[in-house]
Amino acid sequence: MSRTIAAPSSLETSLYRKIGWRLLPFILLCYLICYLDRVNMSFGKLQFVKDLNLTDAQYGLAAALFYVTYTLFDIPSNLVLARIGVRKTLARIMILWGTFGALQMFIQSAPQLYVLRLLFGAAEAGFIPGIMLYLTYWFPNALRGRVTSIFLLGLPISGMIGAPISGAIMQNMHDVLGFRGWQWLFLLEALPAIVVGAIAFFYLEDSPAHAKWLSSEEKARLTGALADDHARSASTSSQSLRGILRDPRLYLLALVNFAANCVINAVNFWTPSILKSVGVSNVSHIGWLTSGMSTAAAIGMVLFCYSSDRAMERRLHYTVAALLVAGGLFFLPMAQHSIAGTVALMMFATIGSFSLLALYWTIPTSYFRGKGAAGGIAFVSMAGAAGGFVSPLVIGWLKVQTGTLYNGMLVMSAIALTGIVLVWACLPREKVAQR
């Protein structure tokens, strides 16, 4: 099975470049803040687990609970976005998650942490599928890999910038004004979400029709180009939400996202702990090593997606990325006595996990069209959130049962390989047609 996708003309490329410079830096900033706030608990864990007398299983449960409410509210949030627009939705999401993220500084017990993680997940629900849907309003499928990779650069950049900042906050602000380092971490890294969320309401446009920075001619050209791109979509029969829910490919795509989120959360939530377990004791050093891995991941992700767009090929690129993360996690036990070996393997795993997630999101955004697109995209995002729930829970439980993180990483390696099989089962071959 194959489908043809037209490459943009030179005039359209200039228009998309203009749109990209207007929207993508701000959206990238939003995602950077999002992921920094979501996973800074992996650094906070290095201190608050001891302060609050928590186990790794309790930490894993707290990390997982975020995805319970995130999953429950993903579809409703995206359906609301389709009705009221991205400006109001994004402002609501960011201001609420910033508020609940900051309140984490006051936790004194495991139950309090559980409650705040549930509220945090409910607040952030709909952010990623909402942005993915929003990007389809502005860019065609032939550019989706590059555009998606720029948005998802917030993920590795949050590690590049956030990891050393998180380490420095915890190292240098410990016991300042009577607050522990992890308390300052949650407060200081939550405030930008509140500020940027308020800015989003005034900066973004709900659709090209509302964009005052586009001329009438540019709006007409964009509308025509995107209409042509939508007409070439493979899902011409799945325009309503009911039709999409009857499509078997929806559930395969959901399982792929489940697998992708399992492995990326394994990397994000447990990398600092793995580095500490092999002998990196200084929190700042852990931050800088994590930052280096994220830098490599950012470069790798962009290269993967750029290559995928040029070849208009997703399956093989996804396979290579998944093999990188599966191999990195699989061989970790062999490097448990080597800091250099562990860093190298975790770097491969980080590059692979970030790249496969970016490549994944090019698929449902090109496949689902029409009134049901918001629900379809939110459904597969919900499955990804379920992967985010399962991953830290399984790894934390296995750590308590076996005394090592490596068994959990082996399970995640197997899940990454399963994702490869699912991608080849559900994704059609694509060809680029010049026009």
The Cα–Cα gap between 2 and 428 comes to 5
Instruction: Specify the pLDDT at position 295.
Output: 86
CA 299, distance to chain mean position in Å, is 16
- 252 in Cβ contact with 327 (< 8 Å): no
Instruction: Specify the pLDDT at position 255.
Output: 93
Domain with 117, as residue range(s), is 2-433
Helix then strand count (H, E) for the chain reads: 18, 2
Report which secondary-structure segment, H or E, holds 4.
Answer: strand 2-6
Q: Which residues of the chain have pLDDT under 50?
A: 1-5, 234-238, 431-435
Instruction: Specify the pLDDT at position 429.
Output: 60
φ, ψ dihedrals at 189, nearest 5°: -90, -5
CB neighbour list of residue 256: distance below 8 Å, 6 or more residues apart: 360, 363, 380, 419, 422, 423, 426
Q: Give buried/exposed letters for 73-95 (b at 16+ CB in 10 A, else e).
A: bbbebbebbbeebbbbbbbbbbb
Tokens of 331: 């061989």
The total number of structural domains that make up the chain: 1
Instruction: Specify the pLDDT at position 235.
Output: 45
User: What CATH number should be reported for the domain holding residue 187?
Assistant: 1.20.1250.20
In angstroms, how far is the first alpha carbon of the chain from the final one?
A: 22
- Look-up: residue for tokens 């446009």? 205
CA neighbor of 351 nearest in space, from 316, 305, 313, 386: 305
Q: Which own/partner contact pairs does 303-307 have at CB distance under 8 Å and 24+ positions apart?
A: 304/149, 304/355, 304/358, 304/359, 305/145, 305/146, 305/148, 305/149, 305/355, 305/358, 305/359, 305/362, 306/145, 306/146, 306/149
- Is 337 buried (19+), middle (13-18) or exposed (0-12) by CB count in 10 A? exposed
